């Protein structure tokens, strides 16, 4: 079936749902690269007019990628909760936007409807929303998870401590790790992107991170962000794995490009749960996503990159992650060209993830070949803070010396927490005060003796 | 030191990592000197992305290696298009394709493509010394094809170049995505039996080649090893992954995506 809208007596026709969604999407370079973007600003608005009138129910009848051809579609369809959907089943996409923004639609109502929403519904409504809408609604969503601390509580902002080193040098990693802890970061996870991927090297990193966590009795979790199959091998060989990491995407083909499928994720989740290492919760998965990842492996199947991204969140929520984040500006200008596109995408991703029930954080970031700079990151960081983002990254000086991109810094976390009165995860906050990194006011107070001792061990006591 | 600056009393950590640790702070933000240093590094990386490859200079510097030098351009006519349309950077422009089709290179074992990628600076600085070291590291019986300089080049452009020149193997030397601390990092992508449509999983990569990263001698040694292994296996890519390479110098998968 087709969709149509008329503007100034010109009729615009869209042949199917995926085309309608693509043409309605805000302009971005990745959709242009894929040949999916609207050809003109007016065509884009015509698509939005047609989309606004589409009943939400219709999304249950027309898949953007066929059920038979894609296990992500099958997951979305087979796990759809009809009873949860009932409260919005009578709405069009345009009316759904108004329902979401309605003061009467509170946190509980949004949590109730989440299992009844498909990623395509959520992507569709986001295309009709301004940035302030994306912020207002996301702020009402509440997704709370736990492992050794509790992530996602109101008034809290967690930080992933990302102490990467170009050659995985253990002392180099430890240096960035201590720097981050001393800035109050690390409650979301202490997570290293390794330069290598051999199982023994990964196991060594896992053990070292676990030793630091145990030495200081930090109520947080550690992770080495390697392929799920490598982590599974590390678990089999007895490594201390808290969280299983994996990059995921919104189509079966793109996931195949990552070397994964849903059964593999389920196997990894079961293996990590078996270890039973969590204390306050049992959320053992950590996912990363990002608009453009499906297109970059030619696996987007004619679906726009923002809708593909929302489908990745359907994959994520099925495995009850502790945390998930979009790496919004990492992939490069051929997908998100400049600061404007990166900022919009970051807010869309956060909104879509939260509405679907995923504990979404954001790697607010850019590469040096994108038309973006620190000012753009400050804007997105601040907007996401107001939207209630679950966590951000903490990279020394915002400069990741292993992955060669700019993310957010320990200082950025300090800024956002200070500006908006946000606090770390409660268990971690208590630890910071107990060790003496923070005063009772929550303010940083320098170098406590316990950490100073570790510093001496690390550097051989030499100044 | 101004009243507003609070240094971190753990600057000793800076000896252990190139990361920007123990920067100190002014309120919640960075000291002015750190803001400026970051700005300088970003400016250098930006300039590296947009700097053109000086083809004539590079060709002159390659001449002492004694191989014929060919120059080609991709279908991306300028830098903005190159950045927005990676597909165009993976194909030759028609004139360059025709130019290669007219060549009759003798039989050879390995073809080198030297492409600007995302940092012409990396290629200008490191291509010649790397090739010089490779000449010493490789078995002397290997026949090397013409050296092809490619402008507005993505990694996969080597597939079309190799296919048109009938190369059994192509090594693409290419400027990597500049990082703040590394505006001039060179990568090498090795592909057995290059032809249009090869997947990234069918290549092997050496990354971060520069004096502060993977030194020329070591990069040349590993490239020679990879070439030998590729000839034995008659394949590159996932099949060739093996423990004899220090994984620390294999590129993380995502970093290669933009190349």
pLDDT tens digits for range B95-125: 999 999 999 888 999 999 999 999 999 999 9
Per-residue model confidence (pLDDT) at position A461: 66
What's the alpha-carbon Rg for chain B, to the nearest Å?
20
pTM above 0.95, yes or no: no
Burial A174-185 (b: 16+ CB within 10 A, else e): bbbbbbbbbbbb
The CATH homologous superfamily for domain B50-214 is Ethanolamine ammonia-lyase light chain (EutC) (3.40.50.11240)
Band (B256; pLDDT cuts 50, 70, 90): very low
Give B-chain residues touching A168 at CB under 8 angstroms.
248
What's the alpha-carbon Rg for chain A, to the nearest Å?
22
* Cβ within 8 Å, pair B16-A367: no
Band (A163; pLDDT cuts 50, 70, 90): very high
| H-only helix segments in A319-448 | 339-356, 374-387, 410-420, 426-435
What the block records as the tokens of A312 is 């990745």
Lowest mean pLDDT among A146-150, A257-261, A263-267, A326-330: A257-261
Tell which B residues from 79 to 138 touch A, by Cβ distance under 8 Å.
83-87, 118
Residue B230 has pLDDT above 50, yes or no: yes
What the block records as the tokens of A187 is 């409650």
Tell which A residues from 379 to 408 touch B, by Cβ distance under 8 Å.
395-406
Percentage of residues of chain B with pLDDT beyond 70:
92
* Residue A211 to residue A49: CA distance in whole angstroms: 57
* Cβ within 8 Å, pair A179-B243: no
ipTM over 0.90: yes
* Cβ within 8 Å, pair B16-A396: no
Phi-psi category of A186—alpha, beta or left, where left has phi over 0 and alpha has psi -120 to 50?
A: left
CA distances from A390 to A250, A323, A422, B78, B113 (A): 21, 8, 11, 40, 46
Q: Are A180 and A151 in contact (CB under 8 A)?
A: no
Band (A105; pLDDT cuts 50, 70, 90): very high
* Cβ within 8 Å, pair A195-B252: yes
Computed over every residue of chain A, the mean pLDDT equals 96
Of B17, B28, B208, the CB nearest to A175: B17
Give A-chain residues touching B256 at CB under 8 angstroms.
none
Residue B255 has pLDDT above 60, yes or no: no
Per-residue model confidence (pLDDT) at position B213: 86
* Cβ within 8 Å, pair B10-A179: yes
* Residue A37 to residue A22: CA distance in whole angstroms: 6
Mind listing the pLDDT tens digit for each residue in A280-309? 999 999 999 999 999 988 899 999 999 999
Find how far residue A90's CA is from the centre of its chain: 30
Residue B258 has pLDDT above 60, yes or no: no
| H-only helix segments in B143-209 | 157-164
In the block, which residue shows the tokens 């940083």? A444
């Amino acid at each position: 079936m087709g969709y149509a809208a008329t503007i100034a007596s010109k009729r615009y026709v869209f042949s199917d749902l995926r085309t309608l969604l693509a043409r309605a999407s805000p302009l971005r370079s990745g959709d242009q690269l894929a040949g999916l973007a609207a050809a003109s600003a007016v065509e884009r608005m015509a698509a939005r007019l047609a989309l606004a009138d589409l009943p939400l129910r219709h999304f249950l009848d027309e898949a953007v990628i066929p059920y038979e051809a894609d296990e992500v579609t099958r997951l979305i369809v087979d796990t759809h909760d009809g009873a949860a959907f009932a409260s919005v089943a009578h709405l069009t996409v345009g009316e759904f936007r108004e329902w979401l923004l309605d003061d009467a639609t509170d946190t509980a109502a949004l949590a109730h409807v989440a299992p009844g929403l498909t990623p395509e519904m959520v992507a569709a409504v986001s295309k009709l929303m301004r940035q302030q809408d994306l912020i207002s609604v996301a702020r009402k969503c509440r997704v709370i998870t736990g492992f050794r601390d509790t992530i996602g509580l109101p008034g809290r902002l967690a930080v992933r401590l990302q102490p990467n080193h170009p050659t995985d040098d253990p002392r180099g990693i430890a240096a960035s790790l201590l720097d981050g802890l001393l800035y109050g970061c690390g409650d979301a996870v202490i997570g290293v992107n390794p330069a290598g991927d051999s199982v023994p090297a990964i196991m060594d990193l896992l053990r070292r991170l676990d030793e630091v966590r145990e030495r200081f009795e930090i109520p947080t979790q550690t992770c080495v962000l390697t392929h799920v199959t490598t982590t599974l091998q590390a678990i089999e060989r007895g490594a201390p794995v808290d969280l299983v990491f994996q990059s995921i995407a919104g189509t079966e083909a793109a996931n195949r490009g990552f070397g994964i499928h849903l059964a593999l994720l389920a196997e990894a989740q079961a293996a990590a749960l078996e270890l039973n290492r969590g204390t306050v919760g049992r959320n053992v998965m950590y996912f990363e996503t990002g608009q453009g990842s499906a297109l970059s492996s030619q696996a987007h199947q004619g679906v726009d990159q923002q809708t593909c991204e929302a489908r990745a969140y359907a994959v994520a929520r099925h495995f009850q992650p502790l945390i998930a984040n979009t790496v919004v500006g990492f992939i490069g200008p051929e997908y998100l060209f400049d600061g404007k596109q990166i900022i919009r995408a970051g807010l869309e991703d956060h909104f879509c993830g939260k509405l679907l029930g995923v504990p979404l954080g954001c790697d607010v970031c850019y590469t040096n070949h994108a038309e973006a700079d620190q000012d753009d990151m400050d804007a997105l960081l601040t907007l996401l803070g107001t939207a209630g983002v679950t966590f951000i990254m903490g990279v020394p000086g915002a400069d990741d010396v292993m992955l060669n991109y700019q993310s957010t810094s320990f200082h950025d976390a300090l800024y956002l927490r200070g500006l908006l009165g946000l606090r770390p995860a409660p268990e971690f906050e208590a630890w910071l005060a107990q060790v003496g990194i923070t005063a009772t006011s929550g303010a940083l107070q320098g170098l406590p003796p316990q950490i100073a001792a570790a510093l001496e061990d690390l550097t051989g006591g030499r100044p | 030191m101004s009243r507003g600056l609070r240094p971190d009393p753990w600057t000793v950590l800076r000896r252990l990592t190139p990361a920007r640790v123990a920067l100190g702070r002014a309120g919640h933000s960075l000291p002015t000197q750190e803001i400026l240093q970051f700005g300088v590094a970003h400016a250098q990386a930006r300039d590296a992305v947009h700097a053109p490859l000086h083809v004539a200079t590079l060709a002159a510097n390659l001449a002492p290696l004694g191989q014929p030098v060919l120059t080609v351009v991709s279908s991306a006519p300028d830098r903005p298009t190159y950045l927005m349309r990676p597909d165009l950077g993976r194909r030759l422009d028609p004139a360059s394709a025709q130019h290669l089709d007219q060549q009759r290179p003798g039989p050879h074992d390995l073809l080198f493509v030297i492409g600007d990628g995302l940092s012409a600076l990396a290629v200008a600085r490191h291509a010649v010394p790397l090739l010089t070291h490779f000449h010493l590291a490789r078995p002397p019986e290997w026949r090397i094809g013409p050296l092809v300089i490619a402008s507005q080049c993505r990694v996969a452009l080597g597939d079309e170049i190799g296919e048109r020149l009938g190369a059994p193997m192509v090594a693409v030397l290419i400027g990597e995505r500049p990082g703040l601390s590394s505006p001039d990092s060179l990568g090498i992508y090795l592909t057995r039996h290059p032809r249009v449509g090869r997947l990234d999983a069918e290549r092997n990569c050496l990354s971060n080649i520069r004096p502060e990263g993977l030194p020329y001698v070591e990069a040349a040694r590993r490239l020679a090893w990879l070439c030998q292994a590729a000839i034995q296996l008659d394949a590159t890519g996932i099949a060739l992954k093996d423990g004899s390479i220090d994984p620390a110098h294999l590129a993380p998968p995502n970093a290669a995506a933009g190349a």
